Structure 1
């Protein structure tokens, strides 16, 4: 057996491997619920939940359940928000031609 790779738990509950080659300078948000509630009858129907809201404290199993729709966090669309530096693109600078 090979040794397992070291993992770090991120504050939003996700797991990041320590051997990742790129830096994640952002935070993760979970958006609309994509659970198909009519899959068992061959249809497609979502509940309309727009954003994941944890049911409990961070670190508990309740933190993985949405308070709005009662679905697991994995059913919600994951979105990584990358921190970008602020750039002033205004044309207030004076340049001579």
Structure 2
């Protein structure tokens, strides 16, 4: 069984925070050409190849592109010094 791909991106605009991006269930409509709505039931994106390869964007479970999977962005604030704070007076 393959592991879920979680992408951590450093947000340069706000110091001390990072965003974790997770790709959840597939939302590709397989019955769009006949006017219906049917999804394949893939619960989460699993990359079929390593990072930097063509397979990194293809799901191993359902075979479709990562863009068809629902994107969840989770923000977390990393600890920093109170002297770095420029918004409030929490020093």
Q: TM-score range by the shorter chain?
A: 0.5 to 0.7
Note the residue ranges of structure 1 that are not aligned, 5 or more in a row. Answer: 1-10, 86-97
Equivalences, count:
72
Say whether 1:83 aligns with 2:76.
yes
Q: TM-score, normalised by structure 1?
A: 0.63
Q: Deviations over 1:45-75 (max 9, x none)?
A: 0000010000000011110000000010000
SS at match of 1:83: strand
| 1:94 corresponding residue in structure 2 | none
Alignment partner of 2:49 out of 26, 40, 56? 56
Say whether 1:65 aligns with 2:58.
yes
Note the residue ranges of structure 2 that are not aligned, 5 or more in a row. Answer: 1-5, 79-91
The 2-side partners of 1:49 and 1:59 are apart by 23
SS at match of 2:62: coil
- Deviating beyond 3 angstroms after TM superposition, the runs of 4 or more aligned structure 1 residues are 20-24
User: Alpha-carbon deviation of 1:26?
Assistant: 1.6
- Whichever of the two has the greater Rg, that structure is 1
Measured on the aligned residues, the alpha-carbon RMSD in Å equals 2.8
**Which of 1 and 2 has higher RCO (CA within 8 Å, sep 6+)?**
2
Q: TM-score, normalised by structure 2?
A: 0.67
| 1:42 corresponding residue in structure 2 | 35
